[in-house]
Chain A
Protein backbone atom coordinates (compact mmCIF):
# COMPACT_ATOMS: atom_id res chain seq x y z
CA UNK A 1 0.00 0.00 0.00
CA UNK A 2 2.66 2.48 1.02
CA UNK A 3 4.73 1.73 -2.11
CA UNK A 4 1.80 2.47 -4.35
CA UNK A 5 1.31 5.82 -2.59
CA UNK A 6 4.84 6.83 -3.53
CA UNK A 7 4.34 5.91 -7.16
CA UNK A 8 1.39 8.27 -7.63
CA UNK A 9 3.10 11.23 -5.92
CA UNK A 10 3.75 14.45 -7.89
CA UNK A 11 6.75 14.60 -10.16
CA UNK A 12 8.64 17.78 -9.37
CA UNK A 13 10.75 19.37 -12.04
CA UNK A 14 13.92 21.01 -10.80
CA UNK A 15 13.52 24.65 -11.82
CA UNK A 16 16.90 25.87 -10.57
CA UNK A 17 18.92 25.61 -13.84
CA UNK A 18 16.15 27.26 -15.82
CA UNK A 19 15.94 30.18 -13.41
CA UNK A 20 19.71 30.51 -13.44
CA UNK A 21 19.73 30.66 -17.18
CA UNK A 22 16.86 33.12 -17.32
CA UNK A 23 18.59 35.47 -14.91
CA UNK A 24 21.78 35.28 -16.94
CA UNK A 25 19.82 36.17 -20.07
CA UNK A 26 18.15 39.10 -18.30
CA UNK A 27 21.48 40.44 -17.10
CA UNK A 28 22.87 40.07 -20.61
CA UNK A 29 20.01 42.04 -22.14
CA UNK A 30 20.18 44.77 -19.50
CA UNK A 31 23.87 45.31 -20.17
CA UNK A 32 23.56 45.22 -23.96
CA UNK A 33 20.61 47.61 -23.84
CA UNK A 34 22.47 50.11 -21.73
CA UNK A 35 25.50 50.22 -23.95
CA UNK A 36 23.76 50.80 -27.24
CA UNK A 37 20.55 52.65 -26.58
CA UNK A 38 21.76 55.75 -24.80
CA UNK A 39 23.23 57.85 -27.52
CA UNK A 40 21.66 56.93 -30.84
CA UNK A 41 18.31 58.44 -31.69
CA UNK A 42 15.89 56.85 -34.11
CA UNK A 43 16.65 58.59 -37.38
CA UNK A 44 17.53 57.67 -40.90
CA UNK A 45 21.01 58.35 -42.18
CA UNK A 46 21.80 59.16 -45.78
CA UNK A 47 23.74 56.65 -47.84
CA UNK A 48 27.34 57.24 -48.87
CA UNK A 49 29.44 54.88 -50.97
CA UNK A 50 32.68 56.03 -49.41
CA UNK A 51 31.62 56.05 -45.78
CA UNK A 52 34.52 54.73 -43.73
CA UNK A 53 33.76 52.04 -41.19
CA UNK A 54 33.02 53.75 -37.94
CA UNK A 55 35.07 52.42 -35.06
CA UNK A 56 33.90 54.79 -32.37
CA UNK A 57 36.67 56.08 -30.13
CA UNK A 58 35.55 55.75 -26.51
CA UNK A 59 33.82 58.84 -25.22
CA UNK A 60 33.33 60.55 -28.55
CA UNK A 61 30.34 62.87 -28.25
CA UNK A 62 27.48 62.10 -30.63
CA UNK A 63 25.11 64.90 -31.60
CA UNK A 64 21.87 63.59 -33.08
CA UNK A 65 20.12 66.07 -35.34
CA UNK A 66 16.48 65.34 -36.11
CA UNK A 67 14.82 66.49 -39.33
CA UNK A 68 13.31 69.55 -37.63
CA UNK A 69 16.76 70.65 -36.50
CA UNK A 70 16.56 69.65 -32.85
CA UNK A 71 19.83 68.49 -31.40
CA UNK A 72 19.92 65.62 -28.94
CA UNK A 73 22.94 64.50 -26.97
CA UNK A 74 22.57 61.55 -24.60
CA UNK A 75 18.77 61.96 -24.64
CA UNK A 76 19.10 65.62 -23.63
CA UNK A 77 17.67 68.23 -25.95
CA UNK A 78 20.31 70.87 -26.59
CA UNK A 79 18.34 72.76 -29.21
CA UNK A 80 14.84 72.55 -30.57
CA UNK A 81 12.83 74.90 -32.74
CA UNK A 82 11.19 77.56 -30.61
CA UNK A 83 13.78 77.45 -27.86
CA UNK A 84 14.30 80.73 -25.98
CA UNK A 85 17.50 82.50 -26.98
CA UNK A 86 20.05 83.72 -24.43
CA UNK A 87 22.48 86.51 -25.16
CA UNK A 88 23.76 87.23 -28.63
CA UNK A 89 25.39 84.93 -31.11
CA UNK A 90 29.15 85.64 -31.08
CA UNK A 91 29.53 84.65 -34.72
CA UNK A 92 26.33 86.00 -36.25
CA UNK A 93 26.82 89.42 -34.77
CA UNK A 94 23.75 91.04 -33.30
CA UNK A 95 21.48 88.04 -33.60
CA UNK A 96 20.01 86.25 -30.58
CA UNK A 97 21.86 83.12 -29.58
CA UNK A 98 19.60 80.10 -29.94
CA UNK A 99 22.44 77.66 -29.51
CA UNK A 100 23.62 78.72 -26.05
CA UNK A 101 22.75 75.37 -24.52
CA UNK A 102 24.74 73.49 -27.15
CA UNK A 103 27.70 75.82 -26.66
CA UNK A 104 27.47 75.48 -22.87
CA UNK A 105 27.29 71.69 -23.09
CA UNK A 106 30.28 71.60 -25.42
CA UNK A 107 32.32 73.76 -23.02
CA UNK A 108 31.38 71.86 -19.89
CA UNK A 109 30.85 68.30 -21.09
CA UNK A 110 32.95 67.84 -24.22
CA UNK A 111 36.07 69.98 -24.01
CA UNK A 112 37.39 68.98 -20.54
CA UNK A 113 37.52 65.33 -21.64
CA UNK A 114 39.25 65.92 -24.93
CA UNK A 115 42.98 65.70 -25.49
CA UNK A 116 44.44 68.94 -26.71
CA UNK A 117 47.16 69.73 -29.16
CA UNK A 118 49.13 72.96 -29.31
CA UNK A 119 48.65 74.86 -32.53
CA UNK A 120 51.69 76.99 -33.33
CA UNK A 121 49.85 79.27 -35.77
CA UNK A 122 47.05 80.24 -33.42
CA UNK A 123 49.23 79.94 -30.30
CA UNK A 124 46.71 78.02 -28.28
CA UNK A 125 45.66 74.50 -27.35
CA UNK A 126 42.99 73.05 -29.59
CA UNK A 127 40.97 69.92 -28.88
CA UNK A 128 42.34 67.08 -30.93
CA UNK A 129 39.37 64.74 -30.81
CA UNK A 130 36.38 64.46 -33.10
CA UNK A 131 32.67 64.77 -32.53
CA UNK A 132 30.13 62.88 -34.59
CA UNK A 133 27.19 64.67 -36.14
CA UNK A 134 24.50 62.11 -36.78
CA UNK A 135 21.78 63.84 -38.72
CA UNK A 136 18.62 62.60 -40.32
CA UNK A 137 18.82 62.54 -44.11
CA UNK A 138 16.04 65.14 -44.34
CA UNK A 139 17.65 67.65 -41.99
CA UNK A 140 18.09 71.03 -43.69
CA UNK A 141 21.81 71.58 -43.99
CA UNK A 142 21.66 74.98 -42.34
CA UNK A 143 21.11 73.26 -38.99
CA UNK A 144 24.38 71.40 -39.45
CA UNK A 145 26.11 74.63 -40.40
CA UNK A 146 24.89 76.12 -37.12
CA UNK A 147 26.51 73.27 -35.19
CA UNK A 148 29.74 73.83 -37.09
CA UNK A 149 29.58 77.49 -36.16
CA UNK A 150 29.10 76.63 -32.51
CA UNK A 151 32.15 74.35 -32.78
CA UNK A 152 34.27 77.34 -33.72
CA UNK A 153 33.14 79.55 -30.85
CA UNK A 154 35.45 81.00 -28.22
CA UNK A 155 36.56 78.34 -25.77
CA UNK A 156 35.33 75.43 -27.88
CA UNK A 157 37.38 75.33 -31.10
CA UNK A 158 36.39 71.80 -32.05
CA UNK A 159 37.66 71.32 -35.59
CA UNK A 160 37.37 67.58 -36.16
CA UNK A 161 33.85 66.76 -37.22
CA UNK A 162 32.61 63.43 -38.47
CA UNK A 163 29.38 63.11 -40.40
CA UNK A 164 27.47 59.88 -40.02
CA UNK A 165 26.23 58.08 -43.09
CA UNK A 166 25.17 54.53 -43.66
CA UNK A 167 26.83 52.23 -46.09
CA UNK A 168 24.89 51.21 -49.19
CA UNK A 169 23.10 47.93 -48.94
CA UNK A 170 24.19 45.37 -51.47
CA UNK A 171 20.68 44.14 -52.28
CA UNK A 172 19.14 47.54 -53.00
CA UNK A 173 19.07 48.71 -56.60
Chain B
Protein backbone atom coordinates (compact mmCIF):
# COMPACT_ATOMS: atom_id res chain seq x y z
CA UNK B 1 0.00 0.00 0.00
CA UNK B 2 2.68 2.45 1.10
CA UNK B 3 4.85 1.52 -1.87
CA UNK B 4 2.02 2.07 -4.36
CA UNK B 5 1.25 5.51 -2.89
CA UNK B 6 4.84 6.65 -3.32
CA UNK B 7 5.01 5.41 -6.93
CA UNK B 8 1.91 7.40 -7.84
CA UNK B 9 3.35 10.79 -6.92
CA UNK B 10 6.85 10.25 -8.24
CA UNK B 11 7.98 13.03 -10.54
CA UNK B 12 8.10 12.20 -14.20
CA UNK B 13 11.51 13.20 -15.53
CA UNK B 14 11.78 13.47 -19.27
CA UNK B 15 15.10 12.43 -20.73
CA UNK B 16 16.81 15.67 -21.67
CA UNK B 17 19.83 14.17 -23.39
CA UNK B 18 18.58 14.18 -27.02
CA UNK B 19 17.32 17.73 -26.73
CA UNK B 20 20.60 18.93 -25.32
CA UNK B 21 22.42 17.10 -28.11
CA UNK B 22 20.34 18.81 -30.76
CA UNK B 23 20.64 22.16 -29.05
CA UNK B 24 24.40 21.90 -28.93
CA UNK B 25 24.51 20.93 -32.58
CA UNK B 26 22.45 23.98 -33.45
CA UNK B 27 24.65 26.16 -31.32
CA UNK B 28 27.79 24.87 -32.99
CA UNK B 29 26.20 25.36 -36.42
CA UNK B 30 25.41 29.00 -35.71
CA UNK B 31 28.83 29.67 -34.20
CA UNK B 32 30.58 28.17 -37.22
CA UNK B 33 28.46 29.95 -39.82
CA UNK B 34 28.68 33.28 -38.06
CA UNK B 35 30.50 36.01 -39.93
CA UNK B 36 30.91 39.15 -37.95
CA UNK B 37 30.34 42.28 -39.86
CA UNK B 38 33.68 43.65 -40.90
CA UNK B 39 33.92 47.38 -40.78
CA UNK B 40 34.33 48.68 -44.29
CA UNK B 41 35.27 52.07 -45.53
CA UNK B 42 33.84 53.97 -48.41
CA UNK B 43 34.63 56.74 -50.85
CA UNK B 44 31.77 59.03 -51.78
CA UNK B 45 31.20 60.29 -55.28
CA UNK B 46 28.41 61.99 -57.15
CA UNK B 47 27.10 61.21 -60.57
CA UNK B 48 25.80 63.83 -62.97
CA UNK B 49 22.16 64.51 -62.19
CA UNK B 50 21.17 64.63 -65.83
CA UNK B 51 20.04 61.59 -67.73
CA UNK B 52 22.58 59.87 -69.90
CA UNK B 53 25.31 61.87 -71.51
CA UNK B 54 24.47 65.52 -71.37
CA UNK B 55 25.38 68.05 -74.04
CA UNK B 56 27.72 70.71 -72.79
CA UNK B 57 25.84 73.98 -72.81
CA UNK B 58 27.63 75.26 -69.74
CA UNK B 59 30.71 77.43 -70.18
CA UNK B 60 33.80 75.24 -70.39
CA UNK B 61 35.79 75.04 -67.18
CA UNK B 62 39.45 74.20 -66.96
CA UNK B 63 39.48 70.58 -65.89
CA UNK B 64 41.94 67.82 -65.29
CA UNK B 65 41.51 64.62 -67.20
CA UNK B 66 43.25 61.66 -65.68
CA UNK B 67 43.35 59.02 -68.37
CA UNK B 68 44.20 55.54 -67.18
CA UNK B 69 45.31 52.76 -69.47
CA UNK B 70 46.77 49.38 -68.77
CA UNK B 71 50.51 49.18 -69.40
CA UNK B 72 50.85 45.61 -68.25
CA UNK B 73 47.84 43.63 -67.06
CA UNK B 74 49.90 41.47 -64.68
CA UNK B 75 48.97 38.01 -63.52
CA UNK B 76 46.19 36.82 -61.31
CA UNK B 77 47.55 34.89 -58.37
CA UNK B 78 45.93 33.30 -55.34
CA UNK B 79 45.97 35.69 -52.49
CA UNK B 80 48.22 33.90 -50.05
CA UNK B 81 50.42 36.71 -48.94
CA UNK B 82 48.08 39.50 -48.07
CA UNK B 83 46.17 39.08 -44.86
CA UNK B 84 42.59 40.03 -44.33
CA UNK B 85 40.70 40.01 -41.10
CA UNK B 86 37.58 38.31 -42.29
CA UNK B 87 38.60 36.03 -45.15
CA UNK B 88 40.65 32.89 -44.96
CA UNK B 89 43.90 32.95 -46.87
CA UNK B 90 44.28 31.76 -50.42
CA UNK B 91 40.66 31.82 -51.53
CA UNK B 92 40.40 34.91 -53.68
CA UNK B 93 42.70 36.01 -56.44
CA UNK B 94 44.35 39.33 -56.98
CA UNK B 95 46.62 40.87 -59.59
CA UNK B 96 50.38 41.01 -59.26
CA UNK B 97 52.79 42.93 -61.44
CA UNK B 98 50.15 45.26 -62.81
CA UNK B 99 51.40 48.49 -64.36
CA UNK B 100 49.15 51.40 -65.27
CA UNK B 101 49.79 54.26 -67.64
CA UNK B 102 48.29 57.34 -66.11
CA UNK B 103 48.26 60.57 -68.04
CA UNK B 104 47.48 63.99 -66.63
CA UNK B 105 47.43 66.51 -69.44
CA UNK B 106 50.53 65.79 -71.47
CA UNK B 107 52.56 64.03 -68.82
CA UNK B 108 52.42 60.25 -68.58
CA UNK B 109 53.34 58.19 -65.52
CA UNK B 110 53.69 54.53 -64.90
CA UNK B 111 52.07 53.33 -61.70
CA UNK B 112 53.09 49.94 -60.41
CA UNK B 113 50.13 48.90 -58.34
CA UNK B 114 51.65 46.07 -56.34
CA UNK B 115 50.61 46.81 -52.80
CA UNK B 116 53.36 44.63 -51.40
CA UNK B 117 55.96 46.78 -53.11
CA UNK B 118 54.75 49.87 -51.35
CA UNK B 119 57.86 52.00 -51.83
CA UNK B 120 57.59 51.79 -55.60
CA UNK B 121 53.85 52.45 -55.47
CA UNK B 122 54.29 55.51 -53.28
CA UNK B 123 57.11 56.78 -55.46
CA UNK B 124 54.92 56.44 -58.55
CA UNK B 125 51.95 58.05 -56.85
CA UNK B 126 54.05 60.99 -55.62
CA UNK B 127 54.82 61.83 -59.27
CA UNK B 128 51.08 61.90 -59.91
CA UNK B 129 50.62 64.11 -56.86
CA UNK B 130 53.22 66.54 -58.17
CA UNK B 131 51.44 66.73 -61.50
CA UNK B 132 48.14 67.50 -59.77
CA UNK B 133 49.58 70.07 -57.37
CA UNK B 134 49.30 73.23 -59.51
CA UNK B 135 45.52 72.93 -59.91
CA UNK B 136 42.98 74.72 -57.76
CA UNK B 137 41.55 72.06 -55.47
CA UNK B 138 38.11 73.53 -54.88
CA UNK B 139 37.30 74.63 -58.42
CA UNK B 140 38.96 72.28 -60.89
CA UNK B 141 36.86 69.26 -61.76
CA UNK B 142 38.83 66.05 -62.01
CA UNK B 143 37.69 63.39 -64.45
CA UNK B 144 38.89 59.83 -64.12
CA UNK B 145 38.79 58.32 -67.57
CA UNK B 146 39.26 54.57 -67.30
CA UNK B 147 40.08 52.73 -70.49
CA UNK B 148 39.64 49.07 -71.30
CA UNK B 149 41.20 46.62 -68.89
CA UNK B 150 41.09 48.86 -65.86
CA UNK B 151 39.85 47.15 -62.73
CA UNK B 152 38.06 48.55 -59.71
CA UNK B 153 41.19 48.44 -57.57
CA UNK B 154 43.08 50.74 -59.97
CA UNK B 155 40.32 53.32 -59.89
CA UNK B 156 40.03 53.20 -56.11
CA UNK B 157 43.80 53.66 -55.79
CA UNK B 158 43.77 56.79 -57.94
CA UNK B 159 40.51 58.09 -56.49
CA UNK B 160 42.18 57.73 -53.12
CA UNK B 161 45.02 60.03 -54.21
CA UNK B 162 42.64 62.57 -55.71
CA UNK B 163 40.49 62.66 -52.58
CA UNK B 164 43.59 62.81 -50.41
CA UNK B 165 44.71 65.89 -52.33
CA UNK B 166 41.34 67.44 -51.45
CA UNK B 167 39.94 67.85 -54.92
CA UNK B 168 36.26 68.45 -54.45
CA UNK B 169 34.77 67.74 -57.83
CA UNK B 170 35.52 64.24 -58.98
CA UNK B 171 33.72 62.45 -61.76
CA UNK B 172 34.12 59.46 -64.01
CA UNK B 173 33.98 59.21 -67.74
CA UNK B 174 34.21 56.38 -70.16
CA UNK B 175 33.99 55.79 -73.85
CA UNK B 176 30.87 54.14 -75.18
CA UNK B 177 32.69 51.94 -77.64
CA UNK B 178 33.80 49.19 -75.29
CA UNK B 179 31.55 46.18 -75.27
Question: What residues of chain A have their CB less than 8 Å away from a CB belonging to chain B?
Answer: 12, 15, 18-19, 22-23, 25-26, 29-30, 32-33, 35-37, 40, 42-54, 65, 67, 90-92, 119, 121-122, 126, 130, 132, 134-142, 144-145, 148-149, 151-154, 157-167, 169, 171-173
Indicate whether B151 reaches chain A with its CB closer than 8 angstroms: yes
Chain B 35-59, CB-CB to A under 8 Å as 1, else 0, gives 1111111111111111111000000
Known: A19-B23, A160-B44, A167-B39. 5 other contacts (CB 8 A): A23-B23, A137-B94, A141-B155, A159-B47, A161-B47
Residue contact A138 to B40, C-beta cutoff 8 Å:
no
* Cα-based distance from A160 to B19 in the complex (angstroms): 51
- Which chain A residues border B156 with CB–CB below 8 Å? 46-48, 137, 163, 165
In the complex, the answer to whether B84 meets A44 with C-beta atoms within 8 Å is: yes
B76 within 8 A of A: yes
Out of B34, B39, B41, B92, name the residue touching A44 (CB < 8 Å): B92
Query: B159-179: which residues lie under 8 A (CB-CB) from chain A?
Result: 159-160, 163-164, 172, 174, 176, 178
- Closest Cβ–Cβ distance, residue A118 to chain B (whole Å): 12
In the complex the two chains form, is B20's CB within 8 Å of A152's CB? Answer: no
Instruction: List B residues at the A interface (Cβ < 8 Å).
Output: 13, 16, 19-20, 23-24, 26-27, 30-31, 33-53, 76, 79, 82-85, 87, 92-95, 115-116, 118, 146, 148-157, 159-160, 163-164, 172, 174, 176, 178
A53–B82 Cα distance when bound, in Å, is 22
Q: State in angstroms the CA–CA spacing of A152 and B139 once bound together.
A: 24
Chain A residues whose C-beta falls within 8 Å of the C-beta of B36 in the assembled complex: 32, 36
A64 to B151, CA, bound (A): 15
- Whether B176 contacts A163 by the Cβ 8 Å rule is no
CA distance A90 to B52 in the complex (A): 8
